[in-house]
Amino acid sequence: MIKTVPCLCRLMGIRKDKKVDIDILLALQEFRNGVGGSLTSFLSKMTFYGELSTAIILMAAIYWAISKEFGTYLLMGWSGNRIVNGFLKVTACAYRPWIRDARIVPYGNSMTTATGYSFPSGHTMNATSVFGGTLLRKDMPGALRIFAGCIMVLVAFSRIFLGVHTPQDILVGTVAGLVVMGLVMKMMQWLEAHPEKDILVLVIGIACAVAVAIYAAVKPYPVDYDAEGKILVDGAKMANDTFKGVGWCAGFLVGWILEKRFVGFTTEVSMKTRCARICIGLFIYYALTLVLVPLLVKGITGPANGMITSFIQLFYISFIFPWGIKHFEKPEGKAVSAR
């Protein structure tokens, strides 16, 4: 018995029967299980660069110690991409490849990081935010842009090669991610000429995030059951990532405004200080996310848990640790120039 609620994936023709994208995945799976051992091992490692934790750590390190301006751009673009990804996922409601076709068998433990709906790929949009965002910056060295572009492509391809996404998942994820990063880059250029408009960006950004979260909370979801009567995908549960997006977006934007108003730290410091910032900052980040935050939100259930946790993560990166840098870091005799 199958009970369904119409959604965009059906209107778009993203059905659960055989399609070209499934045929592509089956061909890649056959290659993977045959002569693709070395490539499989390589791509299973490359997909790591599209994980949430990897993206957050890289952006934090850049923001604290390499280039505050570039880090701000990446963090703002990534926050926007989390909102866009969440909106598209709960709108399309596309099931994972192995749900659509039982012949698809993802590689190894790849399914453990493949949570939620399939369309578009979250790993791809994470990688596009960090590496695609670097690719778009014409002021970056050419070799770095090429390297970043290669990483972005490899992460996206790894998702279909490992069998956890379809080609349309990664293509839309890449295009959407690049569009968001391009718009954020233009917006930051506009803010350089109109710095007083940063409050407007804060208000609009949080308003959009909240609107998407409300949409995710109230919209109907498809309800399909397997042969044993178990629900295939709990749509309401899958919307949790959208709620987390509100926390990430708000955490960054609020921290960004406060840092501009009351901190004003710089990345024009020595290499020794940069390394110290990264080591200390990430140590505190892990202590915060693995120990303190779970204690703070203990007993809080539902969407509020994810929103609070996500807010604290990005607020720490964008404001709390920079505040600590400004107040506890010893002044240097001579700063080393950095963007």
pLDDT of 13 > 70? The answer is: no
Residue labelled with tokens 């390589």 = 42
The vertex-287 CA angle with 282 and 292, nearest 5°, equals: 140
Whole-Å CA distances, 185 to 47, 64, 228, 257: 26, 19, 50, 17
Of 277, 285, 263, 222, which Cα lies nearest the Cα of 6?
222
Give, for 259, the enclosing helix (H) or strand (E). helix 240-262
Phi, psi of 11 (to 5 degrees): -65, -30
- Residue 36 is predicted with a pLDDT of 67
Structure confidence by residue, pLDDT tens digits, 186-218 = 999 999 999 999 999 999 999 999 999 999 988
Confidence of residue 53 (pLDDT cuts 50, 70, 90): very high
- Residue 10 is predicted with a pLDDT of 43
In 3-state terms the chain splits into helix, strand, coil percentages (rounded to 5) of 75, 0, 25
The span from the CA of 262 to the CA of 254, in Å, is 12
- Residue 252 is predicted with a pLDDT of 97
The span from the CA of 283 to the CA of 277, in Å, is 10
Structure confidence by residue, pLDDT tens digits, 260-286 = 999 999 999 999 999 999 999 999 999
Lowest mean pLDDT among 124-128, 299-303, 330-334: 330-334
Residue labelled with tokens 């919307």 = 239
CB 115 within 8 A of CB 165: no
- Top-confidence residue, 134 or 115: 134
Tokens of 77: 């673009």
* Arithmetic mean of pLDDT over the chain: 87
Burial class (CB in 10 A: 0-12, 13-18, 19+), 260: middle
For the chain, first and last CA: distance in Å?
60
Q: What secondary structure does DSSP assign to 133-158, as a single string?
A: HHHH-TTS-HHHHHHHHHHHHHHHHH
CB 124 within 8 A of CB 220: no
Helix axes 198-218, 303-315, angle to 10 degrees: 160
Q: Which amino acid is at 122?
A: G
Lowest mean pLDDT among 6-15, 261-270, 290-299: 6-15
Of 202, 196, 191, 338, which Cα lies nearest the Cα of 273?
338
